[in-house]
Structure 1
Amino acid sequence: MKITRRRLLGAAAATGAMAALPRMSFAATTMTLGAAEIDTLSDGHLVLPASFVSPDPQATEILTGFGITTPQVEAPCNVTLLRDGTHTVLFDVGAGPDFMPTAGKLSAALDALGVTPEDITHVVFTHAHPDHLWGVLDDFDEPLFANAQHMMGKAEFDFWIDPAAAETLDEGRKVFAAGALRRLQVLEDRLLTFSAETEILPGIHAHASFGHTPGHMAFEIRQGNAACMIVGDAIGNGHVAFAAPGLIAGADQDPETGIATRQALLDRLAVSQMPMIGYHLPDGGAGRVERADGAYRFTAEL
């Protein structure tokens, strides 16, 4: 497995059409697994209440240890792009323009790599929260990735396509359900659902990682003896989730299931030393899990 890192600077100047946009930087990590090249692309970041990390007072102490003392945290958003010569696969599609002004930058990141929406053959969703799904439609509410087969775990799709989903969420997240329902209704005729523990595309295996949402999936990309795990939001940050994985995560819909999933994933990744990509992890999201002080830590060293 060959691994390098690169910074793509000045993506706004990559084409004349974007020259008037602000200069931006997009972190990209390249991993070569056999014939597959994997890049992580920045969709920007979210600004969230610290309680979204965890409402537990212990989380405040951990965040302080990482130099985070504000009532809000910034969460990077890392979209994964896989190209194997046959398939060009996006894992999640970012937030689009309607969620937060600090996010929705995926199109510029793709431009910086010379990839167009028409090049994408498959869009695979870890789950249907706004920062992972809402970038799927264009300005005319048509699928942005018009040539792509869209794919989502069946349990996840069934939850969000149900108009009653909003009734199960707290007031602040009801907009999540409305936004997911609108987009999934547009995609329904071109969206393929799948079960956990199946190979959804050659070399891509879906693993149940429920808790953050009812049908959240992680994806193991394997080429021969080399592999990488895309964990989505099952491991939701680079600090508290590693240092105290048994704490409730404020962003999880089913916190207790989320804890069990997180602990199992961290243990597996620490033992196997399989590289991982996390949607909200720092430095482009790619790295490894190490055991540390009775818990874990994230390292961007690949």
Structure 2
Amino acid sequence: MQFTRRFLLQGAALSTIAPQLVWAQSSLTADGARLDTLSDGNLVLPKSFSLGDVAGPEADEILARYGLTGDSFEPDCNVTLLRSGDRTILFDVGAGPDFMPTAGKLMDAFDMLGVDPFDVTDVVFTHAHPDHIWGLLDDFGDLNFPDANYHIGQKEYDYWTDPNTVSTIGEARQTFAVGAANRLGILADRINLFGDGAEIAPGVAARATHGHTPGHMAFEVRLGSESAMIVGDSILNNHLAFERPTWRAGSDQDQDMAVATRVSLLDQLATEQMRMIGYHLPGGGMGRVERRADSYVFVGEDA
């Protein structure tokens, strides 16, 4: 199925399930620092695009246990905000006004939380898919966070700014490539590039979690004795990604690499009992991973 903007807009308009938006969804406070997850709304995605080749009776049975029986998914979008010392750091910027009408609500979340976008000192991208980077600009084409320093992984930046990407990424994702190239082009003279293990800010370390996109990054945030892993889309959902982590997902660009990344990350999070924040996980996305036999389960903070 071609994954076009027209399809996205039509799918969102036809959706009969409109989740209630809770702007400041989950919080973690320690040693004077605070992590919040803010709602950017939700996506409406065709199940065929999300599942890829794994659709079948076993997948349907798992999804039914999570109340997912229709032809589309409507995952939440959780943007993370860290306030620590003199730094206000935003991880991803949401979808903005041009992706689909159910998303792009981040500026409303800022208003509800009482944070001024001009106070954001740093914007850090996990990757450059539309629901993570298209919120860079407002309706007039100006930066939503004009005083921020911007950061993205070197490999991710190189991929989306390569002029060959739009012709090799496949028709379903060509709009992704054009949108990413345009926005990263706007930031070309003010964006900082980094690699695996880099310290983006005090207590914020980058971790390579490639696969969903070629240069996808996660970030471990330490707040004194507390810590949390912002995993972006390296763990895409709270159902199949946990119960069948070795299954390939249609929304991952390099599906085999994404599987290896997901399995490694789930094992680490379950073993260390480190908090995680998933961009598309429910209830604000903050919780922990528990191992169940040969699979895993996501336990949200409110569970």
* Counterpart check, 1:123 vs 2:123: yes
Superposition RMSD on alpha carbons, in Å?
A: 1.3
Q: Secondary structure at the match of 1:156?
A: helix
Cα distance between partner residues in 2 of 1:253 and 1:137:
25
Q: Return the alpha-carbon distance in structure 1 between the equivalents of residues 30 and 230 of structure 2.
A: 14
- C-alpha displacement at 1:27, in angstroms? 4.4
Residue deviations 1:128-169 (CA, integer Å, cap 9, x gap): 000000000122222221000010000000100112111221
Mapped partners of 1:141, 1:182: distance in 2: 11
**Who is 1:113 aligned against?**
113
Q: Tell me which amino acid in the other structure corresponds to 1:30.
A: S
Instruction: State the distance in 1 between where 2:227 and 2:21 align.
Output: 31
Cα distance in 1 between the residues matched to 2:213 and 2:295 = 24
Distance in 2 (alpha carbons) for counterparts of 1:193 and 1:60 = 41
Structure 2: stretches of 5+ with no match in the other structure: 1-19
Which segment drifts farther, 217-226 or 204-213? 217-226
SS in 2 for 1:283: coil
Identify unmatched segments of 5+ residues in structure 1. Answer: 1-22
SS state of the match for residue 101, structure 1?
coil
Structure 2 contact 21–41 (Cα < 8 Å) conserved: no
SS at match of 1:188: coil
Cα–Cα, structure 1 residues 179 and 109, in superposed 2: closer, same or farther, change >3 Å? Answer: same
Higher mean Cα deviation, 138-147 or 235-244? 138-147
1:49 aligns with 2:71: no
Is it true that 1:33 corresponds to 2:15 in the alignment?
A: no
Confirm whether residue 199 of structure 1 aligns to residue 174 of structure 2. no
What CA distance in whole angstroms lies between the structure 2 residues aligned with 1:162 and 1:214? Answer: 12
TM-score (norm 1): 0.90
Where does 1:170-249 land on structure 2 (aligned, <5 Å)? 170-249=170-249
Whether 2:135 is the aligned partner of 1:138: answer no
Distance 2:270 2:38 in 1: 24
Aligned residue for 1:96, secondary structure, equals coil
The superposition leaves residues 166-187 of structure 1 with CA deviations (integer Å, 9 ceiling, x where unpaired) of 1221211100000001111111
Higher mean displacement: 270-279 or 193-202: 193-202
Deviation, 1:51, is: 2.6
3-state DSSP class of the match of 2:45? strand
Aligned-partner Cα distance in 2 for 1:27–1:37: 12
> How far 1:24 moved relative to its partner?
5.4
**Could you say what secondary structure the match of 1:197 adopts?**
coil
1:274 match: 274
TM-score by length of 2: 0.90
Deviates more, 1:191-200 or 1:93-102: 191-200
> SS where residue 228 of structure 2 aligns?
strand
* Distance in 2, Cα, partners of 1:213 & 1:254: 7
Counterpart residue number, 1:14? none
2:194 partner amino acid: F
What's the secondary structure of 2:261's corresponding residue?
helix
* 1:97-116 deviation digits (Å, cap 9, x = unpaired): 00010000000001001112
Which amino acid in the other structure matches residue 28 of structure 2? M
Looking at structure 2, the residues matched to 176 and 33 of structure 1 have their Cα atoms a distance apart, in angstroms, of: 37
Distance 1:36 1:202 in 2: 12
* Cα distance per residue 1:214-241 (max 9 Å; x no partner): 0000000013332110000000001110
Distance 1:137 1:61 in 2: 40
Question: Relative to structure 1, is the Cα distance of residues 116 and 92 closer, same or farther in structure 2, using a 3 angstrom cutoff?
Answer: same
